[in-house]
């Protein structure tokens, strides 16, 4: 304490000068619009540079985690190669031509395209994600999107030349079909716009055996998301007094707070299914 007082006594005039100088600068900035605008511009530039450097440091320390996730994702994709191919029904054919250049190429069902997340929101009522891959890189609307750990993220809704917009599960109009892994009961996903990463599964009857900790996966009843993709883990399942269904809330497998890379899923059969459905709709109109 004695050293502090000695320091103040020794440098009293300098400290007084700096204090008055600071107060003078404050008055000039506070009461002059011109100086205020200049000061704001300088501070914004300095803050921006500091934040940029901080983000670079943070990104560097996240690299190991990101690389680990990508390695796990690649391993899972390699192990699932057989599931990404589907042989045709040959019961009505005498034979299948065995002289193709690539015997698998004609029967590939899914192709996975990696993409970097350039924009993501979680706090709005309707959240979107922007990816750095578009129509120039074979992306179309209606494609499903998963994270590196095969957790369902959403569906592509808009595409430009180099970018794609994804309607994430955290969107009030996102109604992807999901099912309980144990019992197989199918319902519809719905987000109430309140708590990120907590989503509801509707239309599950009370007769189903469901409890906290059960797994929710994709049902496969769409051309966007393949069957069996991880959607989440049940947090709460209580009977709804006003209906014959459960009120189920689950935590999403994809962590929407830290998405950096995703995989976009191209279903090679999607166009064929869409065409035949459009023909049926035209006939019934």
Residue 78 belongs to some domain of the structure: no
| 159 and 30 within one domain | no
Residues 53 and 130 in one domain: no
Same structural domain for residues 139 and 257?
yes
* pLDDT tens, position by position, 121-152: 998 889 999 999 999 998 999 999 999 888 99
- Give percent of the chain with pLDDT exceeding 90: 32
- CATH label of the domain that carries residue 203: 2.40.10.340
Number of domains in the chain: 2
Does one domain contain both 127 and 173?
yes
φ and ψ at residue 63, rounded to 5 degrees: -60, -45
Q: Is the pLDDT of residue 79 over 80?
A: no
Q: Which of these three, 73, 96, 126, is where a domain ends?
A: 73
Of the two residues 31 and 112, the one the predictor is more confident about is 112
The reply to whether 103 falls in a domain is no
Per the domain annotation, does 274 fall within a domain?
Answer: no
Task: Tell me which residue range forms the domain holding 191.
Answer: 110-269
C-alpha torsion angle, residues 262, 267, 268, 273 (rounded to 10) = -160
Assess if residue 125 is contained within a domain. yes
65 and 117: one domain? Answer: no
pLDDT reported for residue 42: 72
Predicted model pTM: 0.65
Are residues 183 and 253 located together in one domain of the fold? yes
pLDDT at 177: 92
pLDDT at 81: 59
The lowest-confidence range among 69-78, 171-180, 265-274 is 69-78
Instruction: Flag whether 16 is in a domain.
Output: yes
Q: 68 and 127 share a domain?
A: no
With cut-offs at 50, 70 and 90, classify the pLDDT of residue 77: low
Closest CA to 216 of 188, 175, 179: 179
């Amino acid at each position: 304490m004695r050293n502090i007082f000695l320091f103040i006594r020794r440098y009293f005039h300098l400290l007084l000068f700096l204090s008055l100088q600071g107060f003078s600068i404050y008055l000039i900035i506070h009461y002059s619009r011109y100086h205020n605008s200049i000061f704001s511009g300088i501070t914004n530039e300095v803050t921006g540079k500091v934040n940029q450097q901080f983000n670079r440091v943070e990104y560097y320390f996240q690299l190991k985690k990101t690389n680990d996730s990508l390695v796990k994702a690649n391993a899972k994709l390699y192990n699932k190669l057989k599931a990404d191919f589907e042989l045709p029904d040959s019961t009505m054919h005498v034979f299948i031509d065995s002289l193709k250049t690539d015997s698998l190429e004609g029967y590939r069902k899914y192709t996975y395209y990696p993409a970097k997340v350039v924009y993501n929101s979680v706090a709005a009522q309707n959240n979107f994600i922007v990816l750095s891959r578009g129509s120039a890189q074979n992306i179309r609307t209606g494609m499903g999107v998963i994270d590196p750990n095969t957790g369902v993220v959403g569906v592509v809704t808009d595409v430009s030349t180099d970018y794609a917009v994804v309607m994430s599960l955290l969107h009030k109009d996102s109604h992807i079909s999901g099912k309980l892994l144990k019992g197989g009961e199918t319902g519809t996903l719905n987000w109430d716009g309140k708590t990120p990463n907590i989503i509801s599964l509707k239309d599950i009857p009370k007769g189903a055996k469901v409890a906290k900790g059960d797994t929710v996966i994709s049902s496969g009843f769409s051309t966007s998301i393949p069957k069996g993709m991880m959607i989440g883990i049940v947090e709460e399942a209580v009977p709804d007094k006003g209906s014959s269904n459960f009120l189920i809330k689950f935590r999403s497998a994809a962590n929407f707070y830290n998405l950096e890379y995703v995989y976009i899923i191209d279903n090679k059969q999607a166009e064929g299914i869409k065409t035949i459905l459009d023909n049926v709709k035209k006939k019934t109109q």
